[in-house]
Chains A and B, each alone.
Chain A
Amino acid sequence: MTCGVFLHSLPKDRRQTLAKVSLEADVLRGSGEWTVFHLHAVEQSLSNLSWPGTGTVQIDMHDVSALDTAGAWLLHRTAFQLTQTGLSVFIKGLSPKAQTLYEYVSRRGGVPGQLPKAVRPGPIERIGRSGIEELNKNIGLLAFIGETAATAAPLLLSPLRVRWQMVLRELGEAGYKALPIVGMLAFLLGVVIAYQGGDQLRLYGANIFIADLVGLSMLRELAPLIAAIIVAGRTGSAYTAQIGTMKVTDEIDALRTMAITPIEWLVIPKLIALVIALPLLTVYADIMGIFGGMVMANVMLGLSMPTFLDRLVEAVSLQSYLTGLGKAPVFAIIIAMVGCFQGFQVAGSAESVGRQTTISVVQSIFWVIVIDALFSVAFSQLGL
């Protein structure tokens, strides 16, 4: 069973399914079902035929049992190409129905071989274009941060205008629901550091310093970083996808026409929520990381937990703890800003949402690590 116009009411067993062509002298004979699913055989044989140099070619379609638009098009294209080489072409044997279809397709279908050309600029133009595009995007990010700051500033004076209900919801999404994964990964990180460091310390009989190693590295660097990276992957991407999808479905424009600033409605609650959530998650990661290290020190080095804790208090100053924690709100601002900005960069299609989400995660993790490095340099210069 196939589609298209059936030309003969032949019983099914007598019908040739496979579409075929053969060239005898100057008569091209077609047979079988010239429909889209069977046509490839005809296309291949047509390209292998040796046509006469001059004169007339007859195309006999009498044995063709079915014809659809694809078949009609191939017939049209063949006739067209033969005419181009200077041959005269006659098509015969089409049933009235097939003739109508053939005429419709050849009249309405256009000239064979005409395809739209995608305009592709030269290499220099492409370099220039992508350079300007990148520049504009970075300027756009700065402008976005500025716009958000300008929207946020008046809200500081009248905090009641902030949509606190939304802030709470975002806080639950970004903070509370991230607890299991952040805790798990920070714990494992503590285990790994204690395990790797413990081996070396044991060589020198300096087992007790495992508390220094785990305490300082977790509190100053690793806990804020791991929390920020998880939040960038979990929450930053969600911000981009949410705002991006709203952009595709015109919801952002709808907000604007209702005299609601999208930044005030969407960005500010997310920003506030993340600035609260990420430091809290960092504290949680601190605790879990040190707990992981402590468990490992106990198992591997036989260091009892009270001893570990005593040493920890001596080794880690409040200042070290606060320098680690102080980075968290900065990371939160970066993640929220990049995530929301990339959401607003979505244009047109669902595919664009996916692309911007990828960019958002990569960019926010990149900036988190760059800023972390800058902090390290700044702190060592300040002697903290």
Chain B
Amino acid sequence: MLAGTSNNKLVVEVKEMTTRFGDKLVHDRINLNVCRGEILAIVGGSGSGKSTLLREMVMLQKPTSGSVRVLGEDATGLADAPALALRRRIGVLFQYGALFGGLTVLQNVAAPLREHTQLSHALIDEIAMMKLRLTGLSPDTGALFPSQLSGGMRKRAALSRAIALDPELLFLDEPTSGLDPVTADALDELVLQLKASLGLTIVIVTHDIDSLWRVADRAVLLGDSCILAAGTVAEIVQSKDSRIISFFQGPRGRAARGIV
């Protein structure tokens, strides 16, 4: 495999990547690395291109120029077959869950297993059930349809589906948005636990500063089409850059650090 050609510790490498939508410059030659086993948070205000960056890393969108390597493979110019193989090794949690409305929760989680493995239906259902339990859902939830779930349960069910194939790399788009503080805390806890016990590498797109402090090993702050800061959260908040200060030193940012 191509894994040998690049640094094995880097799971995602974004190099000199530029994204343009018409006249609007979204990313201006940005560079970004994600190391194996870490939780990297991508933060920034609304419209700063966080979600676009995530979509480019999961191969849903192509950057205008520059390269994106995911798990050692060039994600920007992959043929169909290797792209499918690569996609089976990553899991994505979408902001609104994106659960299939016509399937029950259990069928949703079992869907990738049925498509990509040759295990028996009984074992697949059991594995799907186990994933639901790992994300803290009760067995009865499996028989419900997504429209019958609350927001927090839907996120958990979607997370179960994202880890159905034991991905090496997990992308979470706004995992805590739209959740009450208690549920958001529980979801953060869950992400940490999954990382600790399954050895996952996780990329989180968020604008929840509380969550940032709790789960992220490292963070990058997007703004003005480029990366304003990268490092641990504690390092970033020390910065004197006014744009970074305005993001972290507002009342919410201060409250998240315990300074009131």
Does B245 sit within 8 A of A, measured CB to CB?
no
Contact A105-B101, Cβ < 8 Å, known A118-B143, A347-B147: no
Bound Cα distance from A119 to B140, whole angstroms: 11
What distance in Å separates the Cβ of B191 from its nearest Cβ neighbour in chain A?
15
Report the bound CA distance from A256 to B64 in whole Å: 43
What chain A residues lie within 8 Å of B1 (beta carbons)?
1
Question: Is the Cβ of B116 less than 8 Å from the Cβ of A115?
Answer: no
A119–B73 Cα distance when bound, in Å, is 46
Query: How many whole Å from B108's CB to the nearest CB in chain A?
Result: 12
Q: How far apart are the CA atoms of A35 and B120 in the complex, in Å?
A: 15
In the bound assembly, the distance between CA atoms of A118 and B134 in angstroms comes to 21
Q: Are B140 and A69 in contact (CB under 8 A)?
A: no
Find out whether the CB atom of A40 lies under 8 angstroms from the CB atom of B117.
yes
Given contacts A70-B127, A112-B126, contact A39 B117 (CB under 8 A): yes
SS of B interface (majority): helix
Contact with B along A348-380 (1 / 0, CB 8 A): 111110000000000000000000000000000
Complex CA–CA separation, A174 to B146 (angstroms)? 35
When A and B form their complex, what is the total count of cross-chain residue pairs whose Cβ atoms lie within 8 Å?
A: 103
> Is B130 within 8 A of A36, CB to CB?
no
Contact at A69–B134, with CB atoms within 8 Å? yes
**A350 nearest in chain B by CB position:** B101
Main secondary structure of the interface of A (DSSP, over half): loop
Within 8 A of A (CB), among B110-132: 113, 116-120, 123, 125-127, 129-131
Judge whether B227 is part of the interface by a CB distance below 8 angstroms: no
Pairwise interchain contact A349-B134, C-beta atoms closer than 8 A: no
**What 1/0 mask marks residues of chain B from 148 to 185 whose CB sits below 8 Å from any chain A CB?**
00000000000000010111100000000000000000
Give A115 to B110 CA distance when docked, in angstroms.
12
Q: Among A40, A101, A349, which residue has its beta carbon within 8 angstroms of that of B145?
A: A349
Contact B101 A110 (CB under 8 A): no
Q: How large is the interface on A (under 10, 10 to 19, 20 to 34, 35 or more residues)?
A: 35 or more
Assess whether B197 is in contact with A101, with CB atoms less than 8 Å apart: yes
In the bound complex, CA of A70 to CA of B117 (Å): 11
In the bound assembly, the distance between CA atoms of A350 and B101 in angstroms comes to 7
> For the complex, is B142 an interface residue (Cβ under 8 Å from A)?
yes
Q: A69-B130, A108-B134 are in contact. Are A349 and B166 (CB under 8 A)?
A: no
**CB-based contact A348/B145 at 8 Å:** yes
Give the contact-size bracket for chain B.
Answer: 35 or more
Chain A, Cβ-Cβ closest to B4: A12
- In this assembly, does B15 line the interface, its C-beta being within 8 Å of a C-beta of chain A? no
Name the interface residues of B92-119: CB closer than 8 Å to any CB of A.
101-102, 104, 106, 113, 116-119
- Indicate which residue in A69, A110, A347, A349 contacts B139 across the interface (CB closer than 8 Å): A110
Q: Is A116's CB under 8 angstroms from B126's CB?
A: no
Please name all residues of chain A whose beta carbon is closer than 8 Å to the beta carbon of B101 when the two chains form the complex: 348-352
Q: Which residues on the B side are within 8 Å of A108 (C-beta)?
A: 133-134
Which residues between 174 and 218 of chain B lie within 8 Å of chain A, taking CB atoms? 197-199
**Within the complex, what minimum Cβ distance (angstroms) separates A340 from chain B?**
22
- List the B side residues contacting A352 at CB < 8 Å: 101
| Complex contacts, A73 vs chain B, CB 8 Å | 126-127, 130
Q: List B contacts of A351 (CB < 8 A).
A: 101-102
CA distance A3 to B106 in the complex (A): 23
CB <8 Å contact, B106 and A116: yes
- Select which of B113, B139, B143, B167 is within 8 A of A3 by beta carbon: B167
Extra A-B contacts (12), CB below 8 Å, given A43-B123, A110-B130, A347-B147: A40-B117, A40-B120, A69-B198, A70-B119, A73-B130, A97-B199, A109-B134, A113-B126, A116-B141, A116-B142, A118-B143, A349-B146
Q: Can you list 24 A-B pairs, Cβ within 8 angstroms, ordered by A?
A: A3-B168, A36-B116, A36-B119, A36-B127, A36-B165, A36-B166, A39-B117, A40-B117, A40-B120, A43-B119, A69-B166, A77-B123, A97-B199, A105-B134, A109-B134, A113-B126, A115-B142, A116-B106, A116-B139, A118-B104, A118-B143, A348-B145, A349-B145, A349-B146
Residues of B at the A interface (CB closer than 8 Å) are: 1, 3, 71, 88-89, 101-102, 104, 106, 113, 116-120, 123, 125-127, 129-131, 133-134, 139-143, 145-147, 163, 165-168, 197-199
Q: Which 4 pairs between the two chains have the least Cβ-Cβ distance?
A: A349-B101, A348-B147, A109-B130, A116-B143
